[in-house]
C-alpha cells in the first residue's frame, strides 16, 4: 500500500497523473544534449535503463527513439503509472539481476536520484550497474554539485536528500566500483529553440556562468576543475572500456 510519505512526495513534486510521460520543449532539448554528450547512439535497438524515473519525462522522450527502455522507481504509485502506460517498469525493491534478466544496457541514467541515497548504498549500486553495461555502455547521473558554493538551496531544499558529492569524491567512488569517471560538467543549458528572448537571456547566463566558474575555481581551488553550477552531470564507464 502506498504510504502517506510517498503520496505527499508526489503531491509536493507536482507530479500529476495526467502529466506522466510528458516533457517540456526545454526538457526535450536538455535530454537530447545530455545523451549526445555522453555518446550514446540512439536507435530502435539501444538499451536504456533509468533509475528513479519519477513522473516519466525522460522515459517519454527517449522511448521515441528506442524500443528497449526499462525503468526502476522506489515509489509504487509511479511504477503503476508507468506500467499503465505500457512501460516496462519495476519497484526498486526488486533484485537488479532479476530486472535485467541477463540484459546489458548502453545507457544507465539517474537524474536527481543519487542525492537520495546513503553513500555506501550508492557505491554498492554502482558496482551492480557496472555489471550490466554493454561494451560501450555508460552511466549518466545528475546530482547537486559538491564542487559548487551555490548548491545548498538545491541540496537542502528536499528533506529526503542525503549525500552531496564533489568531482574528487566521484573519482574515488568510481574506483571503488570498478569504474572510471569520464567527466563532470554542468547540465546542458538550452539557448536555441526556446524563442529569441530566451536565447538572449540564456546567452547572457552562459557567459556569466563561465566567468563565475573561472573566478571561483581560480580564487578558491587553485584553478582545479570544478562544476560551479548548482547541479552537475557525471559520466562513468567500466575501467578498461573502449572510448
Task: With beta carbons less than 8 A apart as the criterion, state whether 87 and 116 touch.
Answer: no
Q: Collapsing DSSP states into helix, strand and coil, what is residue 33?
A: helix
Contact in structure between 87 and 69 (CB atoms under 8 Å):
yes
Residue 101 DSSP one-character state: T
Q: 105-111 and 47-51: which strand pairing?
A: parallel
Superfamily of domain 4-190+225-238: Vaccinia Virus protein VP39 (3.40.50.150)
Whether the CB-CB separation of 194 and 174 falls below 8 Å is answered with no
Nearest to 229 by CA among 155, 144, 126, 112: 144
How far, CA to CA in Å, does 219 sit from each of 164, 167, 214, 223? 22, 18, 8, 8
- Per-domain residue ranges of the chain: 4-190+225-238
The 10 Å CB-count burial string (b at 16+, else e) for 99-136 is: bbeeeebbbbbbbbbbbbbeeeebeebbeebbebbbee
* pLDDT by position in tens, the chain (length 243): 455 778 889 998 999 999 999 999 999 999 999 999 999 999 999 999 999 999 999 999 999 999 999 999 999 999 999 999 999 999 987 789 899 999 999 999 999 999 999 999 999 999 999 999 999 999 999 999 999 999 999 999 999 999 999 999 999 999 999 999 999 999 999 999 999 999 999 999 999 999 999 999 999 989 999 999 999 999 999 997 766
How many Å apart are CA 216 and CA 208, to the nearest integer? Answer: 12
The C-alpha R_g of the chain, in whole angstroms, comes to: 18
Amino acid at each position: 500500500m502506498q504510504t502517506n510519505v510517498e503520496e505527499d512526495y508526489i503531491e509536493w513534486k507536482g507530479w500529476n497523473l495526467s502529466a506522466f510521460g510528458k516533457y517540456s520543449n526545454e526538457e526535450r532539448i536538455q535530454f537530447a544534449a545530455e545523451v549526445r554528450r555522453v555518446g550514446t547512439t540512439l536507435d530502435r535497438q539501444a538499451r536504456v535503463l533509468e533509475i528513479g524515473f519519477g513522473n516519466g519525462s525522460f522515459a517519454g522522450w527517449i522511448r521515441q527513439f528506442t524500443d528497449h527502455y526499462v525503468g526502476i522507481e522506489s515509489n509504487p504509485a509511479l511504477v503503476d503509472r508507468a506500467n499503465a502506460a505500457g512501460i516496462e517498469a519495476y519497484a526498486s525493491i526488486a533484485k537488479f539481476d532479476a530486472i535485467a534478466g541477463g540484459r546489458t544496457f548502453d545507457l544507465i541514467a539517474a537524474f536527481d536520484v543519487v542525492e537520495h541515497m546513503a553513500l555506501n548504498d550508492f557505491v554498492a549500486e554502482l558496482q551492480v550497474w557496472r555489471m550490466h553495461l554493454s561494451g560501450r555502455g555508460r552511466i549518466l547521473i545528475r546530482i547537486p554539485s559538491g564542487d559548487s558554493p551555490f548548491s545548498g538551496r538545491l541540496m537542502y531544499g528536499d528533506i529526503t536528500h542525503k549525500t552531496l558529492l564533489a568531482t574528487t569524491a566521484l573519482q574515488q567512488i568510481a574506483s571503488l566500483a570498478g569504474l572510471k569517471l569520464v567527466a563532470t560538467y554542468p547540465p546542458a543549458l538550452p539557448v536555441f529553440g526556446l524563442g529569441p528572448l530566451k536565447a538572449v537571456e540564456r546567452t547572457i547566463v552562459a557567459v556569466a556562468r563561465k566567468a563565475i566558474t573561472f573566478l571561483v575555481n581560480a580564487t578558491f581551488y587553485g584553478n582545479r576543475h570544478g562544476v560551479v553550477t548548482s547541479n552537475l552531470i557525471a559520466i562513468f564507464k567500466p575501467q578498461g572500456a573502449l572510448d
